[in-house]
Chains A and B, each alone.
Chain A
Amino acid sequence: MIKAEVKSLDEIKEMLKGYRKVLNTGCGGCVSVCLAGGQKEVNNLNTKLKVVFKQENIPVEIDSFTVERQCEQQFLAELDHIVGPYDALMSMACGAGCQFLAERYPDKPVFPAVDTEFIGVNKDIGWYEERCKACGDCVLGITGGICPVAMCAKGLFNGPCGGPQGESCEVDKEVPCAWVSIYKRLKGQGRLDNILKIYATREWEDQLQGKILLEQYKSRYIQETK
């Protein structure tokens, strides 16, 4: 899932300065799972902001509303009859949700309250790690289920650089070298052949604005030209 982190109070305060009435919108999707932007976090942030605004005499009024998912217009629609009186919106969803919110209410300034960090996993409670760069051309089948694009600091495709410190990546002793891990995993499975072959220069599939249109729905969106 997508992992995000709440921005610092200072940064949020700066963004909201000059607005009188702000609606902080949460998201019940990924950001709620990683404890960054669900209903609880929205309330937490608002409580903190109210204290700060009061202390510093900043006349911003802030309310909250959390929708099921901000990456779906159907759920954002719930906000339609609420947003009216607000002169700015804040989103605690990921960057995608935040943009979809802004798209629905193009007249309202929208501010992100979180930084979207990565697509990752829950290692444990409150401990998330990146696993995927959404590169659009998955190689996990070759590399033993360990991603060289996301897990190798240099995104190498043909084996480890000269730098691993023991079994750690050269950039961080706490992080395992992806290629040491790939080697061990494939060796254990008797599939080392996979990485003895050269992996040819790839054509990057993530260099344009991504779009998926499912075959079975195409007719719905594309008018046939005769």
Chain B
Amino acid sequence: MKSGSKLEKVLSEGKFAVTGELGPPRGTNPDAIKEKAQYLKGMVDSVNITDNQTAVVRMASWAASSLLIQEGLEPNYQMVCRDRNRIAMQSDILGAYALGIRNILCLSGDHQLFGNHPKSKKVFDIDSTQLISMVRKMRDEGTFQNGQEITDPPKMFIGAASNPFGQPYEFRVHRLAKKIEAGADFIQTQCIYNMERFREFIKQANDMGLTEKVYILAGVTPMKALGMARYMQKNVPGMDVPDWVIKRLEGVEKKKQAEEGIKICCEQIEEFKEMKGIAGVHVMAIEWEQRVPEIVEKAGLLPRP
């Protein structure tokens, strides 16, 4: 075992993993985390704690991760390259490990322009691939990025993101390969709606032998309503929402759209369970945590190990 995290255990035992997601509050109240955590308890193996998602200031992801541990859940600590240089990142990783955090997801991060401090200064001292290398080095070589030894190095289970739907399509699988080479142990994908393109992507990854080297968790986000689907289709960077999703939501009355969204999500999960090269699902039901139990149950993912 590299880190001994629950997520690592589930995956290495070949069980189909389920991860969830939780956004820390835009304030100091820990109850906001406790409340959301209640819905996820027993439903997922690990919970992603976002890092100032969409560049909006929120409680630090390591702090929210620590609060989640107190609730008996395992966090997947997200870290983006936008706000910290390598000094701050490594320092946060040491602190996170000391607080019991064992999974980390290494991301580039949304540009600050999208957030609530659009004219803040970006950092991007290192990029997400380089961040993965750094965390791997801290774990496997027991040294900082500069090569200096760490006393009691942090042993993290290292995650990375992959977006099969962004241009240039042909490069996406190679970018995945680079992240694996850098040291990623698991991958969580962008929300998948375009199943056709995703099947193609996974086939490529299988053919290149990548799925032997890394655990891929397929990302899903249930559509709450037709409006959300339309918004995501048009406005969310890197998102690929095909027309069939819109059509299916249009096909039911307004009250039933949420249910239909969950139904679509569960059908996708059913397919992922059988898909070669997929090791689990990542359910991103942001601000909709209360519906996660229903999704996980309907998709036949219970009980969790």
Contact = CB atoms under 8 A, between A and B. Distances in A.
Contacts of A157: 127, 129-130
A162 B190 contact: yes
A171 B82 CA distance: 14
Contacts, number: 101
B242 to A, nearest CB: 15
Contacts of B166: 160-164
Given A196-B174, A196-B178, A201 B124 contact: no
B302 interface: no
Interface string B163-181: 1001110110011011001
B109 to A, nearest CB: 8
Nearest to A172: B113
Interface residues of B, number: 37
Contact of B111 (A171, A179, A195): A171
Interface in A130-175: 153-167, 170-171
Contact of B182 (A155, A164, A196, A198): A198
B174 A180 contact: no
A162 B187 CA distance: 13
A164 B238 contact: yes
Interface in B125-183: 125-130, 133-134, 145, 161-163, 166-168, 170-171, 174-175, 177-178, 181-182
A184 B170 CA distance: 10
B273 interface: no
Interface residues of A, number: 30
Contact of A171 (B108, B113, B124, B238): B113
B90 to A, nearest CB: 12
A200 B133 contact: yes
Given A198-B182, A201-B126, 4 more contacts: A153-B113, A156-B108, A160-B168, A161-B128
For the complex of A and B, list the 7 residue pairs with the smallest distance between their C-beta atoms, beginning with the closest.
A162-B163, A163-B237, A170-B237, A158-B129, A162-B238, A201-B130, A159-B175
Interface of B: 81-82, 86, 108-111, 113-114, 122, 124-130, 133-134, 145, 161-163, 166-168, 170-171, 174-175, 177-178, 181-182, 190, 237-238
